[in-house]
């Protein structure tokens, strides 16, 4: 029996929840030939949404679609490697002619990209060291996209990563190329809203005003819970409405976490009986148990001030006024300034996240499972 709650890979259509409005809006933006900046909290569903948009008939027939996640990259070399690899692997199933055209355009990589001389099968053997002149290869990649037989959409996920590259001119370089292109639209996505919005909204930066901005929110409760209940019915089983509500509420509808807990509850509960709130709670406990080791490791790497600040915020769930006397006192912290410093390092390590309500910042533990685990253990 297929578990209807996918927690890895690309989610096939019948198991994909909602996002109907968002999908329509993104398709419309693409049809109007605008680049897109897609942001959301981590694990809200950006990547899945991009793939879902790519599957829409209007997009699938009219565009070549590419997707690359540059989170692991730390230099322009690597980014160029990732982009060429993505194009290459998309073209392989399309046959020799398509591939040949690409190979002819990317001259700077001739030798490491092409066909295995013995077997004649396509091979991608580009090493970082082969990319001697990343700017040139990048230009060739964009030339290729510009000349492709169909319009292209290129999604670059975790785009904020380019601000960490040692090369100074990457933003301006990309912007210059992209501005000149008529045949390719870009979806820049990422979860670091602060960095990305700065990049796209400040007049002094190259990407200023170059995209339609789209912020992805949680799936509404009514829609998510009806979906979950229906999926479980389709699988020949049942769940109470209260249990579906609980799964949603535990994580305020944060997609990955809700989905994960439903996945585990489905996998581990008795298939003969209706899933109830206890099954959700059990799934939660088991999940926290299995993460024990990795969460302990995270805590282990923190210094004392970081740890006490993280614990204080986990205990609050959502913490505002973190540098107020009241907060510092309530959680027996050292001082407002040490809290402030700890928070800045925890944000950098993506252990904390925040929402800005206009007046102040509201902090929470970025990984909601870790938040629960800290509350259980400290």
Q: Rule CB under 6 A: which residues touch ligand ATP?
A: 6-7, 11, 16-17, 19, 40, 42-48, 191, 255-256, 259
Give the Cα separation of 32 and 14 in Å (integer).
Answer: 28
By beta-carbon proximity to ligand ATP, the closer residue of 6 and 124 is 6
Point out which span in 41-49, 129-137, 138-146, 299-307 binds Mg ion (CB under 5 A).
Answer: 41-49
Question: Phi and psi of 178, rounded to 5°?
Answer: -65, -40
Does residue 47 belong to the site contacting Mg ion (CB under 5 A)? yes
Nearer to ligand ATP, 44 or 342 (CB): 44
Could you tell me which residues come within 8 angstroms of residue 68 by beta carbon, excluding any fewer than 6 positions away? Answer: 82, 83, 86, 154, 155, 156, 157
CB atoms within 10 A of CB 251: 21
Based on CB atoms, which residue is closest to ligand ATP, 105 or 161? 161
**Tokens standing for 88?**
């290459």
Give the shortest CB-9-to-ligand ATP separation in angstroms. 8
Exposed (0-12), middle (13-18) or buried (19+): which is 112, by Cβ within 10 Å? middle
Quote the CA–CA distance of 284 and 266 in Å, as a whole number: 12
Out of ligand ATP, Mg ion, none, what residue 246 binds, judged by CB under 5 to 8 A for its kind, is none
Q: Residue 191's binding partner, choosing from ligand ATP, Mg ion, none, with beta-carbon cut-off 5 to 8 A by kind?
A: ligand ATP
Closest approach, Cβ 53 to Mg ion, in A, equals 14
> Would you say 263 or 305 has its CB closer to ligand ATP?
263
Closest separation in Å from C-beta 51 to Mg ion: 10
Greatest extent of the chain over all pairs of C-alpha atoms, in Å: 72
Q: Which two tokens stand for residue 183?
A: 């045949």
Q: Which residue is nearest to ligand ATP (CB)?
A: 45
- Which lies closer to Mg ion via its Cβ, residue 46 or residue 263? 46
Radius of gyration of the chain (CA): 23
- 231's tokens: 């999926």
Gap between the Cα atoms of 329 and 345, Å rounded: 21
Q: Pick between residue 138 and residue 155 the one whose CB is nearest to ligand ATP.
A: 155
Residue 361 site contact among Mg ion, ligand ATP, none (CB < 5 to 8 Å, cut-off depends on kind): none
CB of 47 to ligand ATP, least distance (A): 3
Distance CA 327, CA 315 (A): 12
What is the nearest approach in angstroms of Mg ion to the Cβ of residue 107? 33
What, of Mg ion, ligand ATP, none, does residue 16 touch, CB below 5 to 8 Å by kind? ligand ATP
Q: Which residues bind Mg ion (CB under 5 A)?
A: 46-47
């Amino acid at each position: 029996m297929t578990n209807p709650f996918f927690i890895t890979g690309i989610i096939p259509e019948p198991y994909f929840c909602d996002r109907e409005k968002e999908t329509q809006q993104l398709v419309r933006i693409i049809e109007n030939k605008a680049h897109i900046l897609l942001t959301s909290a981590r694990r809200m569903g950006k990547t899945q949404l991009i793939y879902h948009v790519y599957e829409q008939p209007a997009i699938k027939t009219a565009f070549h679609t590419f997707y690359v996640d540059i989170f692991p990259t730390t230099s322009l070399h690597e980014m160029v490697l990732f982009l060429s690899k993505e194009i290459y692997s998309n073209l392989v199933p399309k046959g020799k002619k398509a591939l040949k055209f690409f190979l002819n355009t990317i001259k700077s990589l001739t030798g490491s990209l092409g066909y295995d001389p013995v077997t004649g099968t396509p091979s991608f053997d580009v090493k970082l060291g082969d990319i001697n002149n990343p700017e040139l290869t990048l230009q060739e990649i964009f030339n290729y996209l510009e000349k492709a037989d169909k319009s292209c959409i290129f999604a670059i996920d975790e785009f904020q990563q380019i601000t960490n590259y040692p090369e100074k001119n990457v933003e301006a370089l990309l912007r210059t190329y992209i501005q000149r292109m008529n045949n390719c639209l870009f979806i820049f996505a990422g979860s670091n809203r602060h960095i990305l919005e700065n990049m796209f909204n400040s007049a002094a930066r190259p990407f200023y005003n170059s995209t339609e901005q789209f912020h992805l929110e949680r799936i509404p409760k009514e829609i998510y819970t009806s979906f979950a209940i229906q999926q479980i019915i389709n699988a020949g089983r049942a769940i109470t409405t209260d249990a579906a509500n609980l799964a949603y509420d535990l994580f305020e509808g944060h997609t990955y976490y809700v989905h994960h807990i439903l996945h585990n509850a489905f996998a581990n509960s008795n298939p003969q009986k209706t899933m109830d709130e206890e099954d959700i709670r059990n799934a939660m406990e088991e999940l926290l148990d299995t993460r024990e080791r990795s969460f302990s490791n995270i805590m282990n790497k923190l210094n004392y001030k970081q740890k006490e600040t993280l614990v204080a915020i986990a205990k609050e769930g959502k913490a505002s006024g973190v540098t107020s006397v009241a907060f510092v006192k309530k959680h027996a912290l050292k001082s407002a300034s040490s809290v402030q410093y700890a928070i800045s390092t925890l944000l950098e390590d993506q252990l904390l996240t925040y929402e800005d309500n206009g007046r102040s910042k509201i902090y929470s533990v970025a990984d909601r499972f870790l938040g629960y685990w800290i509350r259980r253990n400290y």
